[in-house]
Chains A and B, each alone.
Chain A
Amino acid sequence: MKHVLAALLSLILAVTVRATAQGPPTPPPAGQAPPVQGGRGAGGQAGRGFPAQQKPLADPAVIARGKTLYEISCRSCHGADLRGGDMAGPNLLRSQIALNDNDGESIGEIVRTGRGEMAPFDLPLDSVKAIAAYIRSILATARGQGSPPAGPRVELNVLVGDATAGQAYFAANCSSCHSPTGDLNGLAQRYADPMALQNAWVSGGGGGGRGGRGGGGAAPAGAPSRREVRVTVTLASGEKVEGRLGRIDDFIVTLTQADGTSRSFRRDGDLPRIDIRDPLDAHKKLLLVYTDTDMHNVTAFLATLK
């Protein structure tokens, strides 16, 4: 799900983003998506994926009993979330022994005989099996790409920047295009989540047009959006054809004219002449310039625009 969301976001922002590791980024040219190559998450192939852990679960009553026994005997060393504890018990969610256990045969042996610094526990077989069943039930909730099970929600504070410094940075670098009382008025209301706010302003994807989501769609229907990439093609005859850029590569440029019709032109080296106006050009160039502190400060400032 996370991957799908990330993939959607990357399409919306039309940038090279991947939530996967083994595939190369394959940004689709506007208008047509080449075959997707990525997807290291379970089931990168077409169709459904496979769960990371497939061992059959025990009866819920056995798992519940195992949880209780785990809390009593194991938690202090291996942690409430099984990811290891203060007393040096290893992370059971990436333990080769736990991962290979089917019915307590591997876990049970260690429980009853001890291992390294771990003392043996004198537990009856059914208790050992119940603990193993509980551990397997948690393993089954692990997420893709080796991620642990979702833990309790942790509040993470993205707003660590200095809003005053951010305001100064904004005045120096952003105010030629944007105004806190104009296009960005009430921005923080449109992005209640500071992380979403930061992603939106850094990418420039927060306004109307194709890149926009939710924000400032005030442009009347039919009018060029502020976010549209415009292109002018100057033909050998001197005729200029202007419109919204569809796509461009070394061999073709396509555009949509004001009347909604589409045109395409063959490219051969520098001919015909192509002039592209990308309203996000400044945003893209600034990516090479921002420090993380600049970014956090501006986010803190923009979060005040309520």
Chain B
Amino acid sequence: MMIKQLTLAASALGLSTVLLSGQAQVLVDPASLLKPLGESWPTYSGDYTGRRFSALKQVNKTTVKNLSLAWIVRLTAGAGAAGGGGGGRGGGGGGSDVIMGGVGTEIAGAGPANVKGAILMVNDVLYVSSPDNVWALDARDGRELWHYVWRTRGGTHIGNRGVAIWNNYLFFETPDDYLVSLDAKTGKERWHVEIADFDEQYFSTPAPIIVGNHVLVGTGNDLDMPGFLQSFDPETGKLQWKFYTVPMNPGDPGLETWPSLDAARHGGGQVWVPGVYDPETKLYIFGTGNPTPGYTGVARKGDNLFTCSLVAVNVDTGKMAWYFQTSAHDTHDWDSAQTPILIDGTINGKPRKLVSTASRNGYFYTVDRVSGEHVVTSKFGTASNWANGLRPTGVVEPNPGKEATIPGSLVSPVEGGVTNWPPAAYSPDTGLFYVHERNGFNIVYLTDPDPRGSMGLGGKTTSGVGAAPSYLTAIDYKTGKAAWRHQFPGVTGGGGSGGILATAGGVLFTGDAGGNFVSFDANTGKPLWHARIGGISNAPETYLLDGLQYVLVAVGDALYAFRLN
């Protein structure tokens, strides 16, 4: 059914029918990723826009109150998990063999999985991941079809943001810095290639993004290493290009914002969250991480380009078209890596092609996505206290007094930021950008006053000293002002959990601060439905199968699928 549609669509557009005719059973033609989010979920954000706005409306403001459980499955990471007790715990059997791969000797994190990324839904199959693990599950009941485990050589096993699919092949990244390609139908490995230097302490969490014949791959690092985005050939695994987010050579743009080439080359700016893609300009737009050393900016005076920036790179050449810095000279580990959102909007009566992002530092930005021209800056983290106003360019001027100090600096937000990697959403129906707003304070003490600066995230100690009210916040992209805020009740503070899904049914799905999975009215923020299933660990998604709209979400090792029964 879906394959037919894809073939028809591709033929109608005159796209690569050669490829299709050669592989009749292709699961996801990359050209199909250009379509807006509909019945399936074929890429990290559902589609390239990052909006996480589904056209499905079976579940809507009227019907959502009848949403109920379709199935639960609990995933066990590592080998030895095969059989009904493994992937199929509570989910109706499972029982597939574990397919082993990897270059290392260790099986990490064997036990309950922690799903912190996108789940693809393609051709009635779900593709789920956790560090070193990929599962294929039946989208109707969560039954395990296959389970792949990567033996690791180590690295930081904090999370995996999901797999990517190109034709019949899956791609995922491992904590020990490999890009691995699997046959989507069988889980058998096609190849793996090394994507970063393990000895330099890179570790890789992002979901790759497929654009045409590019596999766009970011990675992460805490040890003062340069950030980069790479493009690989999906057929062969060969590197196509590598874009560094910091100056690496004399004469590189941005070098004037670092005290030395050595500082720039150790300046961070990791690309650890997937970005978005604008097919009209062929620009892949993504956010970059914090500069390093993270808390001790003394040895990297300057704005530290292109860390904490929105960056637009041509997918065919790997060359930067524009940038906009969302946090100049960050000294609080507030990455700007969050997935931005493409908005076709109107500013002062004129149609504009825009990109918006809500940054970990508590500021919201709208930028022209063709030129990078600044449109809006606003503070959405109501307690954020680290800035000294705006520059004429719309860049926020940091207050050096709020850097870590020996007697302590009272700073909001806390290290995790007002928001973080769990993605925001945007509804073209309401014109609102939805994001969790977590407000809190910590005292940041400088513990390493060495004039050479510390390394990584070292040199400081932080102590949380209190929460400020936290919200689900709906921002007007045109003004940056909040159209509404839904405050999470309770005196312990803290904000909602997980990412956000918006739908044409006029509802949002996300986690609140009390372990509830909640549907909110997208116009008003009023809660319409909830189920207390625990803290949401990924971003909710939705798909249509057998004429039924499913809402899928992860809570650690458990996947919950809801529908109107």
Q: Which residues of A contact B (CB under 8 A)?
A: 2, 6, 9-10, 13-30, 32, 34-35, 37-47, 49-55, 79, 83-84, 90-91, 93-94, 96, 99-100, 142-148, 151, 154, 156-161, 195, 198-199, 202-204, 229, 245, 247-252, 276, 278, 280-281, 283-284, 287-288, 290, 292, 295-296, 299
- A27 touching B455 by the CB < 8 A rule? no
- Whole-angstrom distance between the Cβ of A82 and the nearest chain B Cβ: 11
Q: How far is the CB of A187 from chain B (nearest CB, A)?
A: 16
Interface contact B530-A251, CB-CB below 8 Å = yes
B158 at the interface (CB under 8 A from A): yes
Partner of B407, one of A24, A49, A50, A158: A158
What CA separation (Å) do A23 and B449 show in the bound complex? 27
Known contacts A15-B464, A145-B456, A148-B455; is-contact A52 B223 (Cβ 8 Å):
yes
Q: Decide yes or no: A90 and B262 within 8 Å by CB, A147-B459, A148-B455, A202-B466 being known contacts.
A: yes
A-B contact count (CB 8 A): 322
Taking the nearest CB of chain B, how far is it from the CB of A138, in angstroms? 12
Query: Which residue of B is nearest A229, CB measured?
Result: B491
Once A15-B493, A292-B410 are accepted as A-B contacts, the answer to whether A148 and B415 lie under 8 Å apart by CB is: no
Interface mask (B533-560 → A, CB under 8 Å = 1, otherwise 0): 0110100000000000000000111000
Is the CB–CB distance between A35 and B456 below 8 Å?
no
Could you say which residues of chain A place their CB within 8 Å of the CB of B443?
198-199, 202, 295
Whether the Cβ atoms of A16 and B131 lie closer than 8 Å is no
Residues of chain B within 8 A (CB-CB) of A245 are 491
B516 to chain A: which residues have CB within 8 Å?
249-251
Given contacts A10-B464, A91-B452, A99 and B199 within 8 Å (CB-CB)? yes
Q: Is there an interface contact between A159 and B407, defined as CB atoms closer than 8 Å?
A: yes
> Could you tell me the dominant secondary structure of chain B's interface residues?
loop
Interchain CB contact under 8 A, B455 and A91: yes
A161 to chain B, nearest CB (A): 7
Known contacts A145-B222, A249-B514; A35 and B556 CB within 8 A of each other: yes
Q: What mask results when residues 394 to 426 of chain B are scored 1 for a CB within 8 Å of chain A, else 0? A: 000000010001111110101110011110000
The reply to whether B512 and A15 contact each other, CB–CB distance below 8 Å, is no
B457 in contact with A21 (CB, 8 Å)? yes
Q: Are A249 and B490 in contact (CB under 8 A)?
A: yes
Give Cα A144–Cα B201 distance, bound, in whole angstroms.
Answer: 11
Contact of A50 among B108, B408, B532 (CB under 8 A): B108
Complex interface: chain A residues within 8 A of B200 (CB): 96, 99-100
Expressed in whole angstroms, the Cα–Cα distance for A14 and B465 within the complex equals: 9
CA A30 – CA B446 in complex, angstroms?
A: 32
B497's partner among A13, A37, A39, A84 (CB-CB below 8 A) is: A37
Given contacts A16-B495, A248-B489, contact A29 B415 (CB under 8 A): no
Contact present for B467 and A284 (CB under 8 Å):
yes
Q: Is the CB of B464 within 8 A of A203?
A: yes
Distance (Å) between the CB of A32 and the closest chain B CB?
A: 6
Once the chains bind, are B157 and A50 in contact (CB under 8 Å)? yes
How far is A86 from B86 in the complex, measured between Cα atoms in Å? 57
